[in-house]
Structure 1
Amino acid sequence: MKDAIQWIRSLLFNAYMYLCVLVFGIVYLIPAIISSDGAVAACHAYCRHIRWAASWMIGLKTEIRGEPPTYECMVTPKHQCFFDVLMIYGAVPRGKFIMKAILKYAPIVGQFGLRIGCIPVDRGKRGQAIKKMVSDVKAGHAHPGQLIIYPQGTRIAPGVKAPYKIGTGALYRELGQPVVPVATNVGVFWPKRGIMRKPGTAVFEFLPKIEPGLEVADFMARLEEQIETASDRLNKEAGFDG
């Protein structure tokens, strides 16, 4: 019975989350058209609201640990579910994602994503996107802020091992910016698939930054070690023993 009630709460929360996309998109439409700052404000407001709603609708509280960066850098989070996208963006002042190109056609999400500086990437053309991104940064055309890139490229469930993509290393080498890894255990409470959301406290931990200048292989090894070690620790803290 308890699980059935939590499933219903989860279903209502999922519906509410998508309804809020429409509401916030309408409320912030004019500010977003006028300025990219308006789009950033809309996305931050949405992230704060959903974080608050999750705490009472499904009992999923959240905690930010470490120092979210306020300077220009790359942010490389562990990606376990949609909710961590909101948490990471809401924690930094001027985030922008590398996103699937198809998302730019998604109503509201695509338009606001482009307005905040997200970079659409066609599947199979990541190399071209990296080259354009580097040239835009060097030419001063890119939006300043925190470039958020998922080093494993997709959602990975807790306890599952998956390779770290070399594209993150290429960006590290070419951009010459510090990299801030982020660990999380949110996947313990919010599975990769399905409706059920579990109550608890999801932790997002900003780890010590990695300065530019390392060889790519050394950087990738350090990045993986930091994120995986911290995420495994947070998973155990949340009661996950897989």
Structure 2
Amino acid sequence: MLQWVRSILYIVQLTIAMPVIGLVFAPWALFSKRGAYRASKTYAGWAIWSARWMIGLRCEVRGDVPQGEVLIASKHQSFLDILMIFHALPRARFIMKREILRMPVIGQYAKRMQMIPVDRGKRGQAITKMLADVNAGRIDPGQLVIYSQGTRVAPGLRVPYKVGTALLYQQLGQTCVPAATNAGYFWPRRGLFRRPGLAVVEFLAPIEPGLSRQDFMRRLEEEVEGATETLLRDAGWLPDGELPAPV
């Protein structure tokens, strides 16, 4: 019961913090992309820091954090892994649902930071436009983050990896850094309860350019799913029907 109360208080203060931080930074962010990034990183940092003492949830980023122009193909389980990845990367740009642009505060800042909106069912068109914008210099270089399954996936569920990640990998000709996470075990897709423990985002070994589409997708899925399951099991998660090992 106590953890439920702590979880609800954490969510309430985090909901209030978003517009407050957004308004405080608005004069800077309105004229500067750097200001928009600083505001968003402040919010992500506050969410991570306050989670530690309010709900007992620590956050850790493992592996070599990408610094240059790379494609990051990440597992997506909850809002928490977005916050952790954005806070860790120097210049992250997410491929995201276009509906997010209509959200207060988040939408305005996403536009300012040149996030890549994607219409459902028109992902190919969005990727084509993004590549054209990159080539024309209308989008600044950075770390392009794509969620290869296209949505949040709860621990234990199997959702196919979408081919859009392979198209980006081949057309950009950049190194791809896979990323795994167990964030969904502590911060689920739905509901108010937040579990204490250690949430991890792990950047895995880079996949260099040059693989065929099929080989790239196979390697990406194997490495991300394997690392994610390891992180989940280390956190105490077990697949449905599996019993803990005897001590």
Return the TM-score normalized by structure 1.
0.97
The aligned counterpart of 2:159 is: 162
The aligned counterpart of 2:121 is: 124
The aligned counterpart of 2:144 is: 147
Residues 116-174 of structure 1 show CA distances to partners (whole Å, capped at 9, x for unaligned) of 11011111111100110111112221121011110001011112111000011111111
**How many angstroms apart in 2 are the aligned matches of 1:207 and 1:220?**
15
**How many angstroms apart in 1 are the aligned matches of 2:188 and 2:99?**
23
Does residue 191 of structure 1 match 2:188?
yes
The aligned counterpart of 1:135 is: 132
The aligned counterpart of 1:49 is: 46
The aligned counterpart of 1:58 is: 55
**How many angstroms apart in 1 are the aligned matches of 2:151 and 2:113?**
21
Segments of structure 2 that go 5 or more residues without pairing to the other structure are 240-247
The aligned counterpart of 2:170 is: 173
Deviation at 1:213, TM superposition (A): 1.1
The aligned counterpart of 2:234 is: 237
Deviation at 1:45, TM superposition (A): 1.1
The aligned counterpart of 2:208 is: 211
CA-atom RMSD in angstroms: 0.9
Asked whether the equivalents of residues 103 and 109 of structure 1 are also in contact (C-alpha less than 8 Å), the reply is yes
One-letter identity of the residue aligned with 1:165: K
Deviation at 1:49, TM superposition (A): 1.0
The aligned counterpart of 2:242 is: none
- Please, which of 6, 21, 33 is the counterpart of residue 9 of structure 1? 6
One-letter identity of the residue aligned with 2:82: V
Deviation at 1:203, TM superposition (A): 1.1
**How many angstroms apart in 2 are the aligned matches of 1:63 and 1:107?**
29
Deviation at 1:106, TM superposition (A): 1.1
| Equivalenced residues, count | 239
**How many angstroms apart in 2 are the aligned matches of 1:195 and 1:98?**
26
Residues 46-66 of structure 1 show CA distances to partners (whole Å, capped at 9, x for unaligned) of 111110000011110011110
Asked whether the equivalents of residues 137 and 175 of structure 1 are also in contact (C-alpha less than 8 Å), the reply is no
Does residue 23 of structure 1 match 2:20?
yes
Give every structure 1 segment of 4 or more consecutive aligned residues whose post-TM-superposition deviation is greater than 4 Å: none
**How many angstroms apart in 2 are the aligned matches of 1:172 and 1:163?**
17
Deviation at 1:27, TM superposition (A): 0.8
**How many angstroms apart in 2 are the aligned matches of 1:108 and 1:83?**
18
Asked whether the equivalents of residues 28 and 42 of structure 1 are also in contact (C-alpha less than 8 Å), the reply is yes
The aligned counterpart of 2:179 is: 182
